[in-house]
Amino acid sequence: MATRGRPLTFDPDTALQRALEVFWERGYEGTSMNELTQAMGIASASIYAYFGSKENLFRQVMGRYGATAGAPPRNALDEHTAVREAIHAMLRATVDQITRPDSPHYCMLILAAPTGAIANEPIREFLAGIRHSQFTAIRDRLQRGIDDGELEASGTDVDAVARYYATVVQGLSIQARDGATRAELDGIVTGAMAGWAALTAAS
């Protein structure tokens, strides 16, 4: 938080958005404090005073990401009455987000994670926890499909189906980063949904 008694000389919301853009483009380990100060337009002392450490800043950035670019796929799960349509809409929303012309073509949650230094383990665990929450959200939506009578409990391995579609979401991001076109990503979604009947026991 900001230091008491000293008025802010910058807009925190704007600074956080600029930090998000840098982390999204370069990842956690690939982003230096110097790059953050340049992008945010404030001194490192102000970053530490208001946002805390680089780790704390990144956690706040991910909160913002989850409420903006990360929200449509998650919201799609609740916006459709039929469970199959909800899963399909989640995948389409994922493609929409990772092919936007005004942002990097991949999910920040999937590809911004650090991979090296032991000191970055808390961030790896933090991002893994968010990814697990994606799996949980899909699993819960499938379970609701069972509760509503759309899927048969005896023929649907909810955990396995949820893990499959969570993997598709993550794979879409990697494919987009590696240059897959919108049409190619749509083809992946079509293929993933073609397996719905084999993966579930629809009533």
The whole-angstrom separation of Cα 142 and Cα 161 is 8
Dihedral (Cα; 126, 127, 130, 132), 10-degree rounding = -100
Digit-coded pLDDT (tens) for 59-103: 999 999 999 989 999 999 999 999 999 999 999 999 999 999 988
Dihedral (Cα; 57, 62, 67, 71), 10-degree rounding = 170
Digit-coded pLDDT (tens) for 139-162: 999 999 999 999 999 889 999 999
Q: Identify whether residues 110 and 186 lie together within a single domain.
A: yes
Dihedral (Cα; 131, 177, 29, 102), 10-degree rounding = -90
- HSE-CB of 32 using CA atoms within 13 angstroms: 3
- What is the number of domains present in the chain? 2
Would 129 be classed as within a structural domain? yes
Average pLDDT, the chain: 90
- Residue 132 sits in a domain of what CATH number? 1.10.357.10
Q: Identify whether residues 29 and 92 lie together within a single domain.
A: no
The whole-angstrom separation of Cα 98 and Cα 110 is 11
Mean pLDDT of 97-117: 82
- Residue 17 sits in a domain of what CATH number? 1.10.10.60
Q: Identify whether residues 76 and 48 lie together within a single domain.
A: no
Would 1 be classed as within a structural domain? no
pLDDT over 50 (residue 138): yes
* 201 pLDDT tier (thresholds 50, 70, 90): confident
| Counts for the chain of helices (H) and strands (E), in that order | 11, 0
Q: Identify whether residues 42 and 94 lie together within a single domain.
A: no
pLDDT over 70 (residue 200): yes
Q: Identify whether residues 97 and 186 lie together within a single domain.
A: yes
CB 90 within 8 A of CB 77: yes
Would 179 be classed as within a structural domain? yes
Radius of gyration of the chain (CA): 19
Q: Identify whether residues 53 and 79 lie together within a single domain.
A: no
pLDDT over 60 (residue 24): yes
Q: Identify whether residues 21 and 88 lie together within a single domain.
A: no
Q: Identify whether residues 55 and 111 lie together within a single domain.
A: no
pLDDT over 90 (residue 112): no
Please give the residue range of the domain that contains residue 132: 69-199
pLDDT at position 202 is 66
